[in-house]
Structure 1
């Protein structure tokens, strides 16, 4: 159930379908989870500043059931920061990233929870 959310002050036009599909594929591979469970959401045109300027910036939130942790998050951050720089032009010193590891019983899907569906 990986969910990646990007809030950015970039205009909507910069967030192409290829950016979304690229994020989805990357997150799926990074977390070793089926892409059919991955959700990406980019919120462009946000009123944001970072360091007192309105140059391109973002905050990224990655939520998953498992596959997150101290060492893994370093690897995930490196990949996501590189993607954001290459595809959206947001440098790694203009972003924060937040990781959230959820218990399967706290995430609903198909009218129940992932714990009920998959026992994890």
Structure 2
């Protein structure tokens, strides 16, 4: 159950349903997770400063069990996600930041319990 939280100063119109579906597909493939288990929230139109500039940009948080727990994995994920975001949103790499969080089963709630017990 990966969780993606994308924050941006781009307008909501930049994040169409088509974009959301493609983004989930790309990140699911990158993380090796099924698309139907992905969770995504987008916060558009935020005040955002990256590298002392308010130019268009994106900050992304990626939290997952077993997929974001090493530098090697996150390097691969990062390349695939950066490729998608730069091409789809017309952003340069210096306007995107990604934070990876490694989750453990007891940190993810589902069906009134946590994943450890399912």
> TM-score by structure 1 length?
0.92
Paired residues in the alignment total: 117
In the alignment, the residues of structure 1 paired with residue 67 and residue 104 of structure 2 have an alpha-carbon distance, to the nearest angstrom, of 11
State how 1:1-120 maps to structure 2 within 5 Å.
1-68=1-68, 69-117=70-118
> TM-score by structure 2 length?
0.94
Segments of structure 1 that go 5 or more residues without pairing to the other structure are: none
Q: CA RMSD in A?
A: 1.0
* Contact 1:56–1:89 (CA under 8 A) maintained in structure 2: no
SS at match of 1:51: coil
Runs of 4+ in 1 over 2 A off after TM superposition: none
Alpha-carbon offset, residue 18 of structure 1: 1.0
SS at match of 1:4: strand
In the alignment, the residues of structure 1 paired with residue 47 and residue 39 of structure 2 have an alpha-carbon distance, to the nearest angstrom, of 23
SS at match of 2:27: helix
In the alignment, the residues of structure 2 paired with residue 25 and residue 114 of structure 1 have an alpha-carbon distance, to the nearest angstrom, of 23
In the alignment, the residues of structure 1 paired with residue 81 and residue 19 of structure 2 have an alpha-carbon distance, to the nearest angstrom, of 12
Deviations 1:3-60 (A, max 9, x none): 1111000001111111100111112211221211101111100001222222111111
